[in-house]
Amino acid sequence: MSKKIAGAAALLMAAVLLIFPHLASEGASAGITTCLSVLIPSLYPFLVITVFLIKSGISSAIGQRIGRPFAKLFALPPAAAPAILMGMIGGYPTGSRGAQALYESGELTEEQAERLVFFSVNGGPAFICTAVGLGFLGSVRAGRFLLLIHLLSGLVVGILLGLPHHHDDAPPRHRIKWPSAGKSLLIAARDGASSMLLMCCFVILFSTFLCILQKFLSGRTLAAVASICEVTLGCRTLSGIQAPLWCFSLVLGWGGLCVHLQVLQGLSFHVRTGRFFFCRALQGAIAAAATLPFQQSFTPKPPLPPIVDVFGSLAQSQPELSSGIAAGAALIILCIALLIDTGNQHHSVV
């Protein structure tokens, strides 16, 4: 059934591309620009460093020195500490790449790697403080506050996930033959490049269809659809309607389907997509609830102009709302079906 739904959604999206080729081209071009100017410079170095630390054995050595608090909090081996830290400062997909590398190296079991993915999906300081805080809200102070709440809510989710596992028997450790530093760097660079290519593909795809959607949707409807699909455009549209601060915390904790696809694709261990979605929603809800008592301390800046320069400039909205809503629904359905199908494939392999 999921394949039939995904197929119907794909056909609808193909029809939308044929009807609006100019907007599709504009959105894809904007997505490529975003990848080259923002995504690759900000994420690729962190991906390479994270994988290098793990593949070279440095992560294991660091974990033995600083990893005990992390082991007690999250019921994970000390070697996971650097991956958790890099997942907090490196941007949304960095934590999952660290979990994948730890699993491949034998430092984490499949259950532990899955649990690490559940709570290490965090926005980086540069994105939250600069893009969201200064760019969308006009306040670095607001960005720093959102970052603090965002990271703390992620840690709370990790602690809650670890509660049932504190008394689990530790898996037997086997001696790992770590590759040389040079070989580890080559592996990390190759893995980072492969991950970046996949991430850029998803960013371009979402940029294309969200650019078309903005021709038909506006206000709260656009903000809701954009927030579900893509975190950057979601925060951008929320600032345009002067949404309260807790809405930004909710969207940052959720992360968006575009980020979810970036995180889950390419993992060699099984991740239950239903539980993953629940953890994303839970982190967003915790962050939003923690923001509510303090949001009056941050005065929103005037609304931003309707042109959304994150994904390129768009034409004025027109009244044919049905096509835009259908295209948006098709994009969301296709992404969810792909995520569910990915989870089923992982499960069948295991």
What's the maximum distance between 2 C-alpha atoms anywhere in the chain?
A: 65
Percent of the chain with pLDDT over 70: 81
- Asked, for residue 171, whether it belongs to a domain, the answer is no
Give the range among 163-167, 208-212, 306-310, 337-341 with minimum mean pLDDT.
Answer: 306-310
What is the total count of domains within the chain? Answer: 1
Mean pLDDT, rounded, of the chain: 79
Q: Which two tokens stand for residue 212?
A: 């078309």
Query: What local confidence, expressed as pLDDT, does residue 315 receive?
Result: 32
Among the listed residues 162, 160, 94, the one whose alpha carbon sits nearest the alpha carbon of residue 122: 94
- Asked, for residue 126, whether it belongs to a domain, the answer is yes
- For residue 117, give the 3-state DSSP assignment: helix
* pTM for the whole structure: 0.77
Query: What local confidence, expressed as pLDDT, does residue 139 receive?
Result: 86
- Asked, for residue 216, whether it belongs to a domain, the answer is yes
Segment 265-312, tens digit of pLDDT: 878 889 999 999 999 999 999 999 999 998 887 765 554 443 333 333
| Distance between CA atoms of residues 83 and 255, nearest Å | 19
- Asked, for residue 173, whether it belongs to a domain, the answer is no
Q: How many helices (H) and strands (E) does the chain have?
A: 17, 0
Burial of residue 73 (number of CB atoms within 10 Å: 0-12, 13-18, 19+): middle
Percent of the chain with pLDDT over 90: 21
Query: What local confidence, expressed as pLDDT, does residue 216 receive?
Result: 81
Whether the pLDDT of residue 250 is over 90: the answer is: yes
CA dihedral 201, 202, 205, 206 (to 10 degrees): -150
Range of the domain at 142: 2-165+179-349
